[in-house]
Structure 1
Amino acid sequence: MNNPHLHLRIETTKKSRIKELDTEPIPFGKIFSDHMLVANYSQGNWQDVQIIPYGPIDLSPATSALHYGQAIFEGMKAYKNSNGEPLLFRPDANHQRINQSAERLCMPAIPESIFIDGLKELIKLDDDWIPNKNGSVLYIRPIYFAVDESVGLKPSDSYKFIIISCPVGAYYSHPVKLIVTEKYVRAFEGGTGAAKVAGNYAASLIADREAKEKGYDNVIWLDGIHRRYIEECGTMNLAFVIDGVVVTPKLTGTILAGITRDSVLTLCRDWGIPVEERAIAIDEIVQAYHQGTLTEAFGMGTAATIAHISTIGYQGEDMIYLR
């Protein structure tokens, strides 16, 4: 990678907005911290790495990401320990994953010095924005997109990488109700399902809206070929407890490799809880529910954390009170 050492310029805000923060409750993703990290890629090199006050950025109407979708992102969180020191959870895994997403979209890798070291400096500067309230954290959103002023169809030659952050409360403040969608498909093998690509989420919005119109919080996606095997929810990976075994869909290239998912499965194995990563047909879940062997369903994600699933709707039937 280029630029192994971070050369960072810092411009601090003239007036912090921290006193304007209303913590009762903190809305998710609408109030942003004082500063942001910005880095530019041009002429084969990363350059102009800086932390500046949070604010708008200038973009041309011909910005290639707006036309051809070279845009990816990550989701992370910062916490404080009992001594008030800021902590990051597995940022190396997010760095690795954003570069895997970048490779899929033909984008240059982001150096560790920018992603990790720049992030640490940003969090040090805005650590007062990390909430002390139980259940609230500082959500971190790295975003990376093409900025060529061109409508020619080709990989961009220039890119912008930005990290912003926002204090947040719980993404789900109640047990989650999900409905299986058979109308829409999220991903196919060989596509971008395993990458954290902005377009994946744009394509999911209509299914999410229709689910909410029916009284659910989100959808459960099935595989694109058979329309039978469970993949993930729109906001998190999924797991089911069947006969005392934690069962979760196997990563096949169509499911996002969640860092929370990996952490949960690692802890389960360390605690001696049986874990199976395999194909799970929706029929199996229905059968296990009616037989009483499905005792729990939950989601795993950075924003969603560990979310209890109380209801799964499928073909007109609600499987309720999963515990």
Structure 2
Amino acid sequence: MRSRLLAVVAMSGLWVGCGGTAAEALNKYKAASLSSEADVKLWAQRASAPNIYASANVAVALVGLLGGSNGQDPNCPVVAKDGNTTRFTGGCTDTNGVEWFGSMEQVGEGEDTGTALITYDGFGYQKAITACEASGGKTKLIFHGTSKMTGSKSKRDFEIDIRLEASGQSESSCTPISATSAWEYKGNVDGADTSFGDGRQTWNGSGRIGDSQSGVIEVETKAEVVDGSVCDSEAASGSTTVKSGGHTAVIQYDGATDCEDSSTVQWSLDGKASAEMEGVRCSAASGPAFSAWSLALLGALGLMRRRARR
């Protein structure tokens, strides 16, 4: 909950990409359904600026969680440093039995700046699925694209162009399944140098996100305030607007005036206000830290499990 994100972004208006890595996937996805409360909740839990940033950069956290640092296998992935460039290279299996692929390169301008470029070149991992070990079941996540950060330690801009490929087996039936996700997004965060849950951050951003199962949306977050001292179960204020298929949903964060453990938000669909929506915690202070490990799985493997049950 007290982890730091690398950086963040400034921009207004919905942003349309120019055919990058993410666009290769997003341009093929169907328009997402946005006609019911269930549809709105699905995207409300994913589409806020801090959630998008954490989800798209989950590979950075994976290195620490599964190998390569923080007391894990120091030899796999292979780490090479040259000045301000750090490169993680796969093609090996760590001491936990996790197989690593491709490479991830981080280029910065020093610890005291907010400028860095992360490049994913087929970088990811494969590990056994406990429930499907008898059939050799494995989960595989592979990242492609770039995440760029510029600015200072206290205020940063970011630009995300990332595609995720996920494959594995359904835990219930061990049936082979696969999915892709993509993020084409720009944004900024003011207060980037504070730990989540300890300080105030204001997030803005816009772009397109989606996956091969749920489809693609246009999304914009305006002035989403994350401040654990005000409310640690939901965002304090601000909004996220989601558009798809001629429909528009607006999620209003109200933790500063109505902080609830059930993580409620106000929302409307096509201009019609509805009752409170619960369970949108991942837009709050603890959301991005939690997201670093879970959201890629929720956004990819979770999608695959739902697909398998159909």
Provide TM-score, normalisation by structure 1. Answer: 0.24
- Greater relative CO (CA pairs within 8 A, separation 6+): 2
Please, what TM-score do these two structures have when normalized by structure 2? Answer: 0.24
